[in-house]
Amino acid sequence: MTNQLTDRMQEEKHLKDCLGIIKANIDAYQKEIHTMSADIQDMYERYRDDDPEVFTELNNTITMNENMKTALSKNKRALKKPYFGRIDIQDGDREIETFYVGKGGVMKDTTHIMVVDWRAPIANVYYENGLGECSYTAPGKQTYTIDLKKKRTYEIAGEELVDYYDSEVVANDELLTKYLAKNKEAVLGEIIATIQKEQNDIIRKSPYRNMVVQGVAGSGKTTVAMHRISYILYNYEKDFRSEDFYIIGSNRILLNYITGVLPDLDVYGVKQMTMEQLFIRLLYEEWDEKKYKVVPCKIENVKKGTLSWYQELQQFCNRLEEATIPQDDIYLKNSILYSSEQIKCYREENPSVSVQSKINALNKRVISKLKNQITGRDITYTAEEKRKLLREYALMFGSKKWKRSIYDIYQQFLMEQDLAPAKSQKEFDVYDLAALAYLYKRVKETDPIREAHHIVVDEAQDFGMMAYSVLHYCIPDCTFTIMGDVSQNIRFGFGLNDWEELKKLILTNSKDSFGILSKSYRNTVEISDYAQKILEHGSFSSYPIEPIIRHGNPVSVRECKDEKKMIDTCVKILNQWQKDGHDTIAVVCRNAEEAKEVSKHLASKITIEESDLEKAEFKQGIMVLPVEYTKGLEFDAVIIYNPTKKDYPADDGHAKLLYVAATRALHELFIVHMGDKSNLL
């Protein structure tokens, strides 16, 4: 007992000392920022265009000031909870060393670390190992073998040590379950402290390799993806900057949620966009947002999302290239200047070069050959004859700039596929945009623009192979982290129902990897079991789910006599949930029209957050959303509103859709209907 008291006193003292250093850092940074800001203002007033010395000093001071602000922000965050873990390690015969692990590093001075950043190589020991002999590897460096003597996890709140736990194993499920029982906002704050081994493996994979991850609902896919970006930026800062990453999500609400969380992971400036926005970006100047409109995919055009559609487009472009680039021998007088075999070889050796770039390159080669032929030979040409020949052969393969519209070419392709619209196309779905981006790259591009070094795709199952094939072609020097769950493919034929074709496309290197996250940390056992029974109505196979054992209330299903009674029931339940401390609540409707109507009825009786899908942000309060907009999000409590047989017929696609709706809930799930409840429930 005495040892326990002494141990706790030492821990409390260390926390007090650490907090004191953080507060001193905050004070010092604030003073330094104030001084530098005054210096910057003074330099602006003294600055003249012809004074490079002041210009250099100004730039350096601005950079230092920004770095100070980042350090200040990091220390302010650390003040809430300086660290969450501790490891005691011994390297050979050396003395035992103690490292405290936190969300951000805390420095006592330039050489003494009080808290190790969770992304540091040594911190991997905390996530990856139980007590005993283990190892860790620094990126691109050697592996160190050590003996882990102690692993401890802390609960700290309000600058006070609440409790701590020693663990002999890799994961501390007791502490994890305790955190998961909290509301959504509290859970987000504890994620770094409770990263599990299988999640950590994915976070710390090399960014130079591709990875596809199948993660069940609630396995933390989005969270793992965000932490992976943070980890890469910390450990590979020479090769990766924030602007080298793209995050691709299925809708704007999910992307805005990610945007809000990234700064807490010390990540700023990462581009986030929908798949549609990425393909528009790859079209560059070809897209006119005033003239064209992005629309959802229509089920009758399901072929557009497939690998076979991409292959048809490839073959179409090959035929277009053959028809555009002359294939015959080119003569100067009676001798061959550039042979058809040379033309063929160049085309075959440069498959990724656009048609226009091939035209330009072949024109240059012919002119180069011509210059060799008409100079220094027995046959002499006058200056005028030389100029005439150079003009004649200059554009032998075509003009320097592609003149035909990419949209016209796409219309020709659609006509060949018997899918051309009756009039000039003004509306485009994601696969139309993918095709246009491919055509731009394959046909017209002459000056390639460097895009992302690494792309993270969340909710990856929502996109068909056409999208991934085009991305792989258009951004060839990029690596991918692709996260999804094929059981949540709600695109009714457009998305992925398994990973096999994508694995063949993306995982071509022996060090590329396919990962599985099978543990679900989100739902209570009661919600997880209920959701799993929905999937059992489908004819497809699904990846098994291992729920973390956390019990809660049973799923409630209530029948009401009319819509007014349904609304009144919802209001009563929502009020009670808010009294119970549930911060984030969703009312899930089948589509945008129903969500708009339900939101209007509820708003007359209770406070509802912004329901306009173009403006809505994920936040505390009650949100009314169509089911497809809840993808990737989670809420403390969820109402599924009136899931009828008509809206959710008993087929594979709707089983996945209803499964998505049910698995959004952390703690409470309530289903309200008027007697015509879907047979999937």
Write out the DSSP string of 145-207. EEEEEEEEEEEEETTEEEEEEE-SSS--HHHHHHHHTS-HHHHHHHTGGG--HHHHHHHTS-T
Mean pLDDT (whole number) for 333-359:
89
- 484 pLDDT higher than 50: yes
186: confidence class by pLDDT, cuts 50, 70, 90 = very low
Residue tagged 């203002």 (tokens): 41
The answer to whether 259 touches 632, Cβ cutoff 8 Å, is no
- 175 pLDDT higher than 80: no
pLDDT for 580-616, tens place per residue? Answer: 999 899 999 999 899 999 999 999 999 888 877 777 7
Q: Which of 424, 351, 75, 70 is nearest to 233 (CA)?
A: 70
Q: What percent of the chain has pLDDT over 90?
A: 31
- 637 pLDDT higher than 50: yes
Quickly list DSSP for 383-436: HHHHHHHHHHHTTSS--SS--S-HHHHHHHHHHHTT---SS---EE-HHHHHHH
**Lowest mean pLDDT, pick from 181-185, 344-348, 442-446:** 181-185
Instruction: State how far the Cα of 517 lies from the Cα of 514, in Å rounded to an integer.
Output: 10
- 187 pLDDT higher than 50: no
Residue tagged 């993306």 (tokens): 506
Mean pLDDT (whole number) for 99-123:
86
- 80 pLDDT higher than 70: yes
Average pLDDT, the chain: 85
The answer to whether 410 touches 420, Cβ cutoff 8 Å, is no
Instruction: Select the more confidently predicted residue: 455 or 70.
Output: 455
Largest pairwise CA distance in the chain: 107
| Residue 293, SS3 per DSSP | strand
pLDDT at residue 508, rounded to an integer: 93
pLDDT at residue 193, rounded to an integer: 67
pLDDT at residue 74, rounded to an integer: 82
Instruction: Select the more confidently predicted residue: 170 or 61.
Output: 61
Instruction: State how far the Cα of 103 lies from the Cα of 83, in Å rounded to an integer.
Output: 7
**Lowest mean pLDDT, pick from 12-21, 164-173, 174-183, 617-626:** 174-183
373: confidence class by pLDDT, cuts 50, 70, 90 = confident
pLDDT at residue 198, rounded to an integer: 86
Tokens linked to 446: 């002459």
Instruction: State how far the Cα of 407 lies from the Cα of 441, in Å rounded to an integer.
Output: 13
pLDDT for 12-66, tens place per residue? Answer: 999 999 999 899 888 988 988 888 888 788 777 766 666 677 677 778 888 888 8
One-letter amino acid at 509 equals: N
Measured from the Cβ of residue 289, the count of other Cβ atoms closer than 10 Å reads: 8
pLDDT at residue 482, rounded to an integer: 95
Instruction: State how far the Cα of 620 lies from the Cα of 226, in Å rounded to an integer.
Output: 21
**Lowest mean pLDDT, pick from 216-220, 464-468, 503-507:** 216-220
The answer to whether 529 touches 522, Cβ cutoff 8 Å, is no
Mean pLDDT (whole number) for 150-176:
75
pLDDT at residue 169, rounded to an integer: 57
pLDDT at residue 507, rounded to an integer: 95
pLDDT at residue 672, rounded to an integer: 94
pLDDT for 444-456, tens place per residue? Answer: 988 888 888 999 9
- 315 pLDDT higher than 50: yes
624: confidence class by pLDDT, cuts 50, 70, 90 = very high
pLDDT at residue 426, rounded to an integer: 85
State CA 407 to chain mean position distance.
29
pLDDT at residue 126, rounded to an integer: 87
Angle at CA of residue 220, ends 215 and 224, nearest 5°: 100
538: confidence class by pLDDT, cuts 50, 70, 90 = confident
pLDDT for 241-287, tens place per residue? Answer: 888 999 998 888 888 888 777 887 888 888 999 999 999 999 887 78
Instruction: Select the more confidently predicted residue: 310 or 223.
Output: 310
Q: In whole angstroms, how far apart are CA 358 and each of 41, 409, 470?
A: 53, 18, 20
- 351 pLDDT higher than 60: yes
One-letter amino acid at 343 equals: I
The answer to whether 180 touches 521, Cβ cutoff 8 Å, is yes
pTM (2 decimals)? Answer: 0.83
- 171 pLDDT higher than 80: no
Burial class of residue 229 in the structure, from the number of CB atoms within 10 Å of its CB (0-12 exposed, 13-18 middle, 19+ buried)? buried
| Residue 113, SS3 per DSSP | strand
389: Cα within 13 Å, side-chain hemisphere:
22
Burial class of residue 379 in the structure, from the number of CB atoms within 10 Å of its CB (0-12 exposed, 13-18 middle, 19+ buried)? exposed
330: confidence class by pLDDT, cuts 50, 70, 90 = confident
